Amino acid sequence: MTLRIDDQIKILCIKSDLTISEIGRRLNKTPQAFSQKIKRGNFTIDDLQEIAMVTGCKLECNFVLPNGEKIQLSEEEKL
């Protein structure tokens, strides 16, 4: 079972000991605006990289071909 991005962000909040509102503030968004974005679930890879940055996480996004080769979708940053 694959979790939707909104569910994954909620899990990130719990594991990071942050509220959705706090992440929104760190992204310079109002808590209401960030909550609405989570409900819509329309995040770009850039949005996810910003969330990773403000939560002290590392985002890894790749397509993995059947032969195991990876096509990197995001610039992976180590924090």
CA–CA distance, 43 with 51 (Å, rounded to integer): 10
CATH class of 5-72: mainly alpha
2 vs 15: CA distance, rounded Å: 18
Report the pLDDT value the prediction gives residue 78, as an integer from 0 to 100: 42
pTM of the model: 0.80
- The pLDDT, as a whole number, for residue 62 is 86
| pLDDT by position in tens, the chain (length 79) | 778 888 999 999 999 999 999 999 999 999 899 999 998 988 998 999 999 999 999 998 888 999 999 898 766 544 4
